[in-house]
Amino acid sequence: MFDRKEYMKNWRKEHPQYAKEKNRDWKLKNPERYKAQRKKLYENRTSQQKERVKIRQNERNKKLKIEFVNMLGGKCSNPNCACKNGYNRSISALEFHHLNPKEKESKRNVCNSALRKLILEGKIKLLCSNCHHEEHEKLNK
């Protein structure tokens, strides 16, 4: 018996480039159906898949944090930090302080690309957890 599904699967495997183009055309012509399909796939994810995505995101975020911390000198930038030469022992105790608090107001968690931009613009200061709390205490006075 002719199995159309199997046939199409093999066809796609043999013509990857063409299949990709066809798929793109279909997506453009059927945005609603594409959306529904994506939604269904998303809803049917197994907990294992969800867990994997979470782990990957965490790893990515960790790598980015290391990168950003290094961009900012790798240690607490407060000259009066309780640690001599500025705290730098644990990356999780280093935090990004926004010099312009308004930029932070809009979103609680600034996404990574926005954060990178702010760092490059010199709008972020790296502080250890203690200095960060002190800084905000001063700002709130």
Q: Where does this chain bind Zn ion (CB under 5 A)?
A: 76, 78, 81, 87, 97, 128, 131
- Which runs of E-coded beta strand occur in 19-139? 94-98, 124-128
Q: Among residues 19 and 110, whose Cβ is nearest to Zn ion? A: 110
Shortest Cβ distance from residue 82 to Zn ion (Å)?
6
Shortest Cβ distance from residue 71 to Zn ion (Å)?
17
Q: Among residues 19 and 112, whose Cβ is nearest to Zn ion? A: 112
- CB neighbourhood size of 98 (10 A): 15
CA-based nearest residue to 72, from 108, 138, 123, 109: 123
Q: Which two tokens stand for residue 11?
A: 């066809």
Q: CA-to-CA distance for 109 and 102, rounded, in angstroms?
A: 13
Shortest Cβ distance from residue 79 to Zn ion (Å)?
9
Q: Among residues 81 and 118, whose Cβ is nearest to Zn ion? A: 81
Q: CA-to-CA distance for 71 and 60, rounded, in angstroms?
A: 16
Shortest Cβ distance from residue 131 to Zn ion (Å)?
3
* Structural contact between residues 62 and 90, judged by C-beta atoms closer than 8 angstroms: no
Q: Among residues 5 and 108, whose Cβ is nearest to Zn ion? A: 108
* Structural contact between residues 108 and 102, judged by C-beta atoms closer than 8 angstroms: no
Shortest Cβ distance from residue 123 to Zn ion (Å)?
11
Q: Among residues 31 and 122, whose Cβ is nearest to Zn ion? A: 122
